[in-house]
């Protein structure tokens, strides 16, 4: 209960442009927002840039008195989702990467084949998620990669919990079919 009250106080201070409160909110949520964006985009530098944009939009919304109404974290995820959509609209879905731009696999102790296999499976999963509908991809990332529960995903996506459960079922089924094709 104290954590909820602390968060409520922190959010009220943020609405009053308290820089310390804004910094604490950034520290508290930036990692989660970065992970969400990274799982949808797959590029670390771009995910960092887009995460910064989320917090800039948060500040703009506070200045224009269009801040969150209920769930602050749900509101941040909604901003992140909109930024991702804007990104894809600007760039289009097709992406080409030159070999010089591909990230190096970090050297790990142990079997290099396992390192490559793990990296490939992550890339395959990311590619498979990109083949889902936007809503299906969003529910997969929020539920399984970000670890949000059904109620939290429901708030972020502005759908009923029943709709989220049905969407999750369809998304998992589609993801399984895509992965079995490959």
156 touches 78 (CB < 8 A): yes
Domain(s) labelled CATH 1.10.10.10 in the chain stretch across 115-182
Q: Check residue 126 and give its pLDDT.
A: 81
Secondary structure (3-state) at 147: coil
Instruction: Kindly report each contact of residues 156-161 with a partner whose C-beta sits within 8 Å and lies 24 or more positions away, as own/partner.
Output: 156/71, 156/74, 156/77, 156/78, 156/81, 158/78
CA–centroid distance for 1 within its chain? 27
- Mean pLDDT, range 74-102, rounded to an integer: 73
- In the chain, residues under CATH classification 1.10.1740.10 are 1-92
* CA–CA dist 109, 44 (Å, integer): 23
Does the structural domain 115-182 have CATH classification 1.10.10.10? yes
Q: What whole-number distance in Å separates Cα of residue 84 and Cα of residue 98? A: 22
Model confidence at 122, pLDDT cuts 50, 70, 90, reads: confident
pLDDT value of position 98: 46
pTM for the full predicted model: 0.62
Q: Mean of the pLDDT values across residues 21-30?
A: 90
Weakest mean pLDDT among 46-55, 84-93, 100-109, 112-121: 100-109
**Residue range 1-92, CATH number:** 1.10.1740.10
- Has residue 97 got a pLDDT over 80? no
Task: Give the per-residue pLDDT at 176.
Answer: 84
């Amino acid at each position: 209960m104290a954590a909820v009250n602390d968060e409520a106080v922190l959010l009220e201070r943020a609405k009053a442009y308290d820089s310390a409160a804004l910094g604490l909110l950034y520290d508290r949520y930036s990692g989660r927002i970065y992970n969400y964006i990274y799982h949808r985009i797959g590029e670390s530098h771009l995910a960092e840039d887009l995460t910064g944009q989320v917090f800039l939009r948060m500040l703009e919304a506070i200045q224009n008195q269009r801040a969150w109404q209920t769930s602050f974290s749900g509101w941040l995820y909604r901003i992140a989702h909109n930024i991702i959509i804007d990104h894809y609209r600007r760039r289009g879905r097709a992406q080409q990467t030159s070999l010089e731009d591909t990230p190096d696999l970090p050297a790990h102790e142990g079997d290099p084949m396992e390192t490559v296999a793990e990296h490939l499976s992550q890339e395959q999963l990311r590619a498979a998620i990109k083949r889902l509908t936007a809503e299906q991809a969003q529910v997969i990332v929020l539920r399984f990669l970000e670890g949000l529960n059904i109620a939290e995903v429901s708030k972020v996506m502005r759908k009923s919990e029943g709709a989220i459960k049905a969407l999750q079922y369809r998304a998992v089924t589609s993801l399984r079919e895509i992965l079995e094709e490959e």
